[in-house]
Amino acid sequence: MADCSIVAALCFGEDDPQTRATVELFKVVMQGASIYVPSLWPVELANSILSAERRLRFGPSDRARLLEIGFTVSPWVDDVPRMDQLLRVMDLAVRHNLTVYDALYVDLARRTGSRLASLDGAMLRAARKEGIVVLGDPA
Measured CA to CA, the distance from residue 113 to residue 72 in angstroms comes to 22
For the beta carbon of residue 92, count every other beta carbon within 10 angstroms: 19
pLDDT in tens, 115-131: 999 999 999 999 999 99
pLDDT in tens, 76-116: 999 999 999 999 999 999 999 999 999 999 999 999 999 99
pTM: 0.91
Q: Give the confidence band of 33 by pLDDT, cuts at 50, 70, 90.
A: confident
For residues 28-40, average pLDDT: 91
How far lies 66's CA from each of 2, 14, 93, 100, 117, in Å?
17, 13, 30, 26, 19
> How far from chain centre, in Å, is Cα 88?
19
How far lies 41's CA from each of 24, 27, 45, 75, in Å?
21, 18, 6, 9
Residue 62 is predicted with a pLDDT of: 97
